[in-house]
Structure 1
């Protein structure tokens, strides 16, 4: 199993908005684990955690997002403009032992 951690450093006042948006979008996704906001450490941080059975399963999920399905269209419409809410982001992928 792998855990994917997507981390975003938001512009001031946007961390809770981005976290709420991610929670709304990801809530019904089977790979969704949690949406986190920082209590200590770097300010305005939002972390999205997802789990997959393997790197191949993660890649398959990414490929599905590149399709033009109704669900993907709905997600992209809701996510429109989310890039304006953060300064930078990163992705880390961990192997679970």
Structure 2
């Protein structure tokens, strides 16, 4: 099992809008992601976590997501809200 974490540094004042946009964008995603916001650490951080059976499944899911109309629409409505970001991959050892 693989956990993919996408970490976004969101422009000041746009975190709520970004969370709502991400909820709408991922509504049709088969593996429903968890969306988290910071309580500590760097301000204005949003994290999206998705579990997959393998790295290959994660790559397929990522490709399908980036090609979806929902993603394309979200890019048009959130063009300058993300200042920086990173994608992290983890092996789930125990749940």
Q: What range is the shorter-chain TM-score in?
A: 0.7 to 0.9
3-state SS in 1 of match to 2:80:
helix
Aligned residue pair count = 93
Stretches of structure 1 lacking an aligned partner (at least 5 in a row):
none
* Residue pair 1:35, 1:49 contacting (<8 A) in 2 also: yes
SS at match of 1:16: helix
2 CA distance for matches of 1:66 and 1:38? 25
User: CA offsets, 1:27-65, max 9 Å, x none?
Assistant: 331222311111111100000111111001011123334
After the TM superposition, list the runs of 4 or more consecutive aligned residues in structure 1 that deviate by more than 2 angstroms. Answer: 62-67
Gaps of 5+ in 2: none
1:33-44 equivalences in 2 (<5 Å): 33-44=33-44
Query: TM-score, structure 2 length as denominator?
Result: 0.85
Structure 2 equivalent of residue 94 of structure 1: 90
